Amino acid sequence: MTSPTPDWKAALSASDRYETIQKIQQSLGSSSMSDAIAIEQAAFQVSSTQPTASPPPQSALYDDLLRESEEGVRIGSYTNCTPVSEGVTSQVYRSGDKALKVIVAYQNIEPHNPQREAKILTTLRGPCIPLIEVFRDQEQQFVLVFPFMPYTLADLLDKGPLPLADVRAIFTDALHALRDIHAQGIVHRDIKPSAILLASPTGPAYLSDFGTAWHPELSARSEPPNDKILDIGTGAYRTPETLFGDKSYGPPVDMWGLGVMLSEAIRDPPVTVFESRPAHEDGNQLGLILSIFKTLGTPTPETWPEAKAFRISPFELWTVFPARPWDVILPDVDPDFRQLVASLVRYDGQRATAEQLITTRQSPETISICTETTMLSNPDTASGSRKSRRLPKPIAREETGEVKNKFWLRTMSKRLTLEAEIVNAGFEADAGWKMDDANDEIWENVGGSDTEM
């Protein structure tokens, strides 16, 4: 017969127990809460009386539980391994300054493939997370070893909004990682806050979680370039093209995920612009599609021409929602970051690339408004010929510190948004155009002449 639960245990609220867990976590000096939760649960089970105050650090029970937590388990030659997180096919442990990703699935569940992940990681460089070694443990489970990072972007967002300077630093590192992998034809396919690891709350940041990444050589046999797996991504960070059956997707799916993640990081409180049910719930994909359409507006063949070739049409049998401007979607946020999100979270093939965003800022000393002269054409001229106008040549500005970063962000985001809008809408040959702000006149009104600048 089971002994009844003491009255004091039944009276404990969830907040009371959570407060105790926080105190234990502070005593451990650990950023992970899993150890503190284990200690609190064990103490709760074996205690027969309620302590009148926080348990003294030297109590026998506390010491025994803490010692057990510190000892952890042995994985290969690594001792004191304590659990940190777990995923679909793996569990992650910490051993000192190392993180061990133990593959617990008995067979590969595509697109998860740890052997391919290890091979991909050996070709990468920072700010992608470096792979230290791989081995098989005493149970013959495949193990990947990385440097341990105490934070993820998800951890920081759970605690509230981030300073814009930290957002800028973290996402700059993420952009460099994406630029490098995209240059090799690699598609990460699962960009999300928990995949961004951080050495400190302000960075540096590292892109991780390459377990479902697509590689043009290593993946081509199981997933040809035009027949990739569609079950990729996580929650609200999934892309509309994969939801509508486009198996020829590429790096733009990562840029969409980055844009959704950025939209979350600049909001207060940090929440994504789209809503998504957990993956195991029925209708989660339809729910995400509905949220995207409500937020961005229902796409049309004009706003998403690439979708004409998709296996599932996004243009039929859907409730039509009007398009909304980004200052309505993301009010009360930094306007420059908002424009960056707008350049990434869009249906068509004009999403900004990591290379574009990085090369706009050419060096720490010199910032170029345009990295190359770009032709903009109006196909609807009266004579049928294609009148052209070039954007201004690069203008070098000497900036330092915070001013430099803000100027880079402003010019980069405005340039990308302007280019996309002009390309999509067509350029009116007789209409002048101007782009400026309160302090920096970037492009002067050029009038109606067809002369190149």
Q: State pLDDT tens for residues 312-370.
A: 899 976 678 999 999 999 999 999 999 999 999 999 999 999 999 998 753 333 222 22
Distance of CA 191 to the CA centre of its chain: 4
CB distance 341 to 262 below 8 Å:
yes
Higher pLDDT, 183 or 71: 183
Residue-wise pLDDT tens digits, 389-419: 333 333 333 334 444 444 444 544 444 444 4
Q: What is the pLDDT of residue 317?
A: 65
- pLDDT tier for residue 57 given thresholds of 50, 70 and 90: very low
Higher pLDDT, 65 or 166: 166
Q: What angle do CA 39, 157, 327 make, to 5 degrees?
A: 160
- pLDDT tier for residue 62 given thresholds of 50, 70 and 90: very low
CB distance 287 to 275 below 8 Å:
yes
Q: Which pair of tokens denotes residue 414?
A: 């405005």
Residue-wise pLDDT tens digits, 269-318: 999 999 998 777 778 899 999 999 999 999 999 999 999 999 889 997 66
Q: Which residues contact 272 (CB under 8 A, 6 or more apart)?
A: 235, 236, 237, 260, 261, 263, 264
Q: Which amino acid, residue 439?
A: N
Is 190 among the catalytic positions? yes
Superfamily of domain 75-147: Phosphorylase Kinase; domain 1 (3.30.200.20)
Q: What is the pLDDT of residue 15?
A: 55
Q: What is the pLDDT of residue 428?
A: 33
Q: Which residues contact 304 (CB under 8 A, 6 or more apart)?
A: 314, 347, 348
Helix axes 164-183, 401-425, angle to 10 degrees: 60
The CATH label, of 1.10.1200.30, 3.20.19.10, 3.30.1330.10, 1.10.510.10, for the domain at 155-344 is: 1.10.510.10
Given the residues 155, 166, 180, 190, select the one marked as catalytic. 190
Phi, psi of 90 (to 5 degrees): -145, 165
Q: How many CB atoms lie within 10 A of CB 371?
A: 16
